[in-house]
Amino acid sequence: MTISSRGAATIEEVAAVAGVSRSTVSRVVNGSTAVSAEAREAVQEAIARLNYVPNRAARSLASSVTLAIALVVPEDTTRFFGDPFFAAIVSGINSVIRDSDYVLNLLIASDDAGEKMTSYVRGGNVDGAIIVSHHTSDTFIDRIAAAVPVVYGGRPVRERPNDYYIDVDNRAGAADATAHLIAKGRRNIATITGPLTMPAGVDRLDGFHDAMNDAGLTPVGTADGNFTANGGATAMREILDTGVRPDAIFVASDLMARGAMSVLQSSGLRVPEDVAIVGFDDSPVATGVVPQLTTMRQPSFSQGRAMAATLLQILGGEEPTHATIMSTELIDRDSA
């Protein structure tokens, strides 16, 4: 299945039909202003007639621009696809990319330690990269960032002055969530955290501590739920197994909260009567559990859009804001 066998029109043929030179066709395709109205019209007509689509390989070769962006997923596939948070992020990214000339190359880190991924990016195959999550162990990220412009989802692990990233104020959000629990009269509060190898995990734990300290309270339990539903369930059991029974828990993601709630409920504990829960994300799972989850909303779709928009700006030669921090909002439902 070669290109020519499908008989795709070339710029040369368009030029012939329009009665102009290749250069002129190229100019109108690329939106140059220096083209007469008649010429432009003739070219556009020829393009439509021949159903012309520029060959991106040729364009890339001639201009050293690939019009491709790497969507780097340094994440276990199950985690990535299992969390509605990422769904919203990618959806946002896609909504911006779709309206541009760029395409997304899906690069999943998986178990190859990023070797092939790195050489792909460094081999000049993409113009930039969007890195949707980031762990301390992801050392290959640095090599990617050294090769092409990068936008991170969330504060990068080792922040550098010139990094671009989109984040929410995780620390403030977590503090707000915890404060809500305290305001409800709860005093024996535990937390289920994300992985502490991720900035989001650390920041939300810090926010939890901020609010607890402000209230003069000491956490009655802390467990890592790995940002997954199963991890949240395991963490919940861990906390229960210590013998203390918290009357409230700040859970750093909705997915983990779902896991925790099912353990609570099958232990005969009522939510929120016995144990109040506040989650984080306000993803679809928040309204899919019973009782519906009180949670911190983060604008995931907008975050995705902002990530893509920022990268496009960089690639367009602009100088966007380096750190965009969006804010979170408490969504008060029934679990706390």
Query: Binding residues for a second copy, per CB under 8 A?
Result: 1-4, 6, 8, 53-58, 60-61, 64-66, 68, 71, 77-78, 80-84, 86-88, 90-91, 94-95, 98, 103-108, 110, 112, 116, 119-120, 122-125, 127-128, 147-149, 229-230, 233, 259, 262, 266, 284-285, 287-290, 315
Q: Which C-beta is closer to DNA: that of 4 or that of 266?
A: 4
Among 41, 45, 48, 61, contact with DNA (rule: CB under 7 A): 61
Among 41, 48, 58, 206, contact with DNA (rule: CB under 7 A): 58
Residue 173, token pair as written in the block: 């959000």
Query: Smallest distance from the beta carbon of 320 to DNA, in angstroms?
Result: 22
Letters for 146-185 (x = contact with DNA by CB under 7 A, - = none) are ----------------------------------------
* Residue indicated by tokens 């709860």: 186
Q: Which stretch binds DNA (CB under 7 A): 22-30, 228-236, 296-304, 313-321?
A: 22-30
Query: Smallest distance from the beta carbon of 121 to DNA, in angstroms?
Result: 16
Query: Smallest distance from the beta carbon of 142 to a second copy, in angstroms?
Result: 16
Query: Smallest distance from the beta carbon of 94 to DNA, in angstroms?
Result: 24
How many residues bind DNA (CB under 7 A)? The answer is: 32
Q: What's the CA gap between 160 and 263, in Å, rounded? A: 41
Q: Which residues of this protein are in contact with DNA, per CB under 7 A?
A: 3-4, 8, 10-12, 19-24, 26-27, 29-30, 33-36, 38-40, 52, 54-55, 58-59, 61-64
